[in-house]
Amino acid sequence: MADLYFSMIASLDGYIADPEGRFDWAEPDAEVMAFINDQERLTGTCLYGRRMYETMAVWETDPSLAEHSPLMRDFADIWRAAEKIVYSTTLEAPATARTSVERSFDPDALARLKAQADRPLSISGPTLAAHAIAAGLVDEIRLFLVPAIVGGGTRALPDGVRLDLTLEEEHRFTGGTVYLGYTVRKP
């Protein structure tokens, strides 16, 4: 059985996007990008909500993005190699290879996917992750907190859900970003 982890870059006040929907303040520097690449390299399947998928699809649909640096090229290669499942009622067809679309989130289907997988699964997008967290399917929460307060926007973590966590890993980057890796304590 593979673990399912939720990983997000967030402001110190807990948002992945500011009130205008911008997240340029969250762009990882080279040190953070290398750390993310090392984590993502192990992932077999990425689960996305539509908006997060459309944000991430540029790693395949815009080849010039990967040419900015060797680290960005590495991330693009890692992203393209992973299987991707997009949960959306509105996305007609995926814009990337190795991608399928599910019309609704089914906790039982995700539990079966975890049981069959031999590599970790990631879930991205706070709305989709909230469903998996509420269903008790998320095993790890990985947060990259950037040194910015944006005052509102899209929350990284869901309201109304209680989790007991154990801090397993922490890392401080020279640019001020802090990584916190938690496991979810299951009852």
Q: Which pLDDT score, from 0 to 100, does residue 24 have? A: 95
> Does a structural domain hold residue 154?
no
DSSP state of 157: S
> Does a structural domain hold residue 95?
yes
28-33 — which CB contacts under 8 Å span 24+ positions? 28/144, 28/177, 29/173, 29/175, 29/177, 30/69, 30/71, 31/173, 31/174, 31/175, 32/144, 32/173, 32/175, 32/177, 32/179, 33/69, 33/71, 33/72, 33/75
Nearest in space to 2 (alpha carbons), one of 102, 78, 112 = 112
User: pTM for the complete prediction?
Assistant: 0.94
Q: Specify the pairing of strand 178-184 against strand 140-146.
A: antiparallel
> Does a structural domain hold residue 131?
yes
Q: Which pLDDT score, from 0 to 100, does residue 8 have? A: 96
> Does a structural domain hold residue 63?
yes
Please report, in tens digits, the pLDDT of each residue of the chain (187 residues total). 999 999 999 999 999 999 999 999 999 999 999 999 999 999 999 999 999 999 999 999 988 887 889 999 999 999 999 999 999 999 999 999 999 999 999 999 999 999 999 999 999 989 999 999 999 999 999 999 999 999 999 999 999 999 999 999 999 999 999 999 999 998 7
Number of domains observed in the structure of the chain: 1
- Domain containing 48 — which CATH number? 3.40.430.10
- Whole-number Å distance between alpha carbons of 168 and 185: 11
> Does a structural domain hold residue 19?
no
Q: Domain range for residue 58?
A: 1-10+28-143
